[in-house]
Amino acid sequence: MNTTKKERIAIVTGGSRGIGRAISKRLASDGQTVVIAYANNAIEADKTVESIIEEGGNAIAVKADISDEAAVSKLFDITEKDFGGVDIVVNSAGIMELNTIVNFNLDKLDRIIHTNIRGTFVVDQQAARRVRSGGAIINISTSVKKLALPTYAAYAASKGAVDAISLILAKELRGKDITVNAVAPGPTATELFFEGKNAETIDHLAKMNPIERLGAPEDIAEVVSFLAGPARWINGQTIYVNGGMI
């Protein structure tokens, strides 16, 4: 498959569901060709691709474990072969396990570190090598770092590392005209968010911000779209997208 030089190509990891799906669809609606990287759920990835194509966009799905250097390198290889290059990389893939520090299963902690920290590092490493001048690298963080909610220590710690990686990479790419930022959503209405929460908890979290509602995946996608396109003077930042809750 070929594209013209004017077209921009985006890789979105974790792009088959939730916030990642909204980001994939928004970038496609902006006119970017989107390569959706998914870990296991080919059905959901294909649904997202089909939805984008039905709406007039261009997308493909590629299976890739973001913590596997060879798999991520192959993901970029496929993108470059099919579309000629990479302009945008959005690292939305990640996992979350919740429990108090005193009771946290350390095997689960290792899994979070492997996916959220190593995975971000591996994807960003390939992006730093391959994203074309004028491009953008965007990592998905979380607002829970500042909220300091009980049971979120492992997840928040992993996303703190994402912020650090983003800031340092932005400085390391000096002179290449590539921006690197992190986007930190607040509570967002996805299947992952609703899982294991009762109505009272959901209502409480929704009202923590002055707008008094949960974020929609499209709210997060809007900011990613801005950073991926016109926002060339925002670099090395973590942008909190949470309705003003912190």
Give the DSSP letter of residue 133. E
- Residue 29, by phi and psi: left (phi above 0), alpha (psi -120 to 50) or beta? alpha
Of the residues 38, 152, 155, 240, only one is catalytic, namely: 155
Work out the angle between the directed axes of helices 119-130 and 69-83 (0-180°, nearest 10).
30
Look up 240 and say whether it is catalytic.
Answer: no
Exposure class string for 129-149: b at 16+ Cβ within 10 A, else e: ebbbeebbbbbbbbbbbebeb
The residue written with tokens 């060709």 in the block is 33
- Cα distances from 104 to residues 6, 112, 145, 155, 204, in angstroms, run 49, 12, 18, 11, 24
Residue pair 17/191 in contact (Cβ under 8 Å)? The answer is yes
Distance of alpha carbon 182 from alpha carbon 208, whole angstroms = 22
200: CB partners within 8 A, 6+ apart: none
Catalytic residues: 155
